[in-house]
Amino acid sequence: MSTPGSVLQVGPLKPSLAKTLAEDYAARTLPESPSERATFLAEHGAEVTAAVTSGRTGVDAALMAALPNLGAIVNFGVGYDTTDVDAAAARGIGVSNTPDVLTDCVADTAVGLMIDTLRQFSASDRYVRAGRWPVDGNYPLTRQVSNTRVGIIGLGRIGQAIAHRLIAFGCTISYHNRRQVPDSPYSYAASPVELAAGVDVLVIAAAGGDGTRGLVSAEVLDALGPHGYLVNIARGSVVDQDALVSVLLNGRLAGAGLDVFADEPKVPEELFALPTVVLLPHVGSATVQTRAAMEALTLRNLDSFLTTGALVTPV
């Protein structure tokens, strides 16, 4: 098991998880300020064998170099694009995440965002609260959700869960992936542009990181067109955010439902006034049940590494 100082918390974590790490594992927390961090690493860096972090913070190559005996990076969350996995592999450091346990809630969020964006329920709610219904009359007509053509970028666990839900709505599903999924019942598109050109709604469920950065480019958004909608529950980096803001402001995209952004928690203020855009503060997996399951799996990975040297859900 852990010895005092062998576990390091990197960045903010769920309060109950941070409390467990401190009380049950004698974990230290990496200081925020550069000068305090440098001093801390010089004094304690060699003691650390496991780092616990989240997709918000991650562990970069420079920090790995300052932790010469680091053996595992345990990530709270399914996304680990903020951790340099290539540098970790080169140093023989294992990296784990928390897959599966958040699939349902993130897929629910994608469907909820799609419904809200096309039907403008949040905007309709604001319309009522502002007292406009008796004054301005009925809210304008919106877009039907059922029987639409939906394209999914990233047909992994979450992408497939989204597709499964939307089939119940009578939607026609197609997808783009790095590789075609064997035996998938859904139509495969060879590129994001090809996918976008043939759908009404484009849902982003791809992993973040350099491999997918800007994958949904201005060209893809143009292919989606003025009657198309974008839903993103993946990572803000997957979409060219400047291009997205431009097409939304200029009416070259019908609407967008966004749970993630390029530089969180900053959100482009130009989008605030658009009734066709739904903005969520990265709450895709934010339910009591899912976050508890994520916390439990994080601790299982940490316990497994400390006792056996192996991770339960390595990436």
Give the total residue count for the chain: 315
- In whole angstroms, how far apart are CA 138 and each of 42, 133, 287? 65, 6, 34
Tally of CB atoms within 10 A around 269 = 8
Instruction: Please tell me whether the peptide bond between 12 and the residue prior to it is cis, using omega within 30 degrees of 0.
Output: no
Backbone angles phi, psi at 192, to 5 degrees: -60, -35
Distance CA 128, CA 106 (A): 29
Pinpoint the alpha helices (H) of the chain.
Answer: 15-25, 34-44, 61-65, 85-91, 103-119, 121-129, 132-136, 157-167, 192-197, 218-224, 241-249, 288-308
| AA identity, residue 96 | S
Q: Which is the catalytic residue, given 28, 235, 291, 295?
A: 235
Is residue 269 annotated as part of the catalytic site, yes or no? Answer: no
Is residue 264 annotated as part of the catalytic site, yes or no? Answer: yes
Is residue 176 annotated as part of the catalytic site, yes or no? Answer: no
Beta bridge partners of residue 7, listed in sequence order: 50
Provide the 3-class DSSP secondary structure of residue 133: helix
Q: Which is the catalytic residue, given 176, 282, 291, 295?
A: 282
Q: Which is the catalytic residue, given 43, 178, 227, 264?
A: 264
Active-site residue set: 235, 264, 282
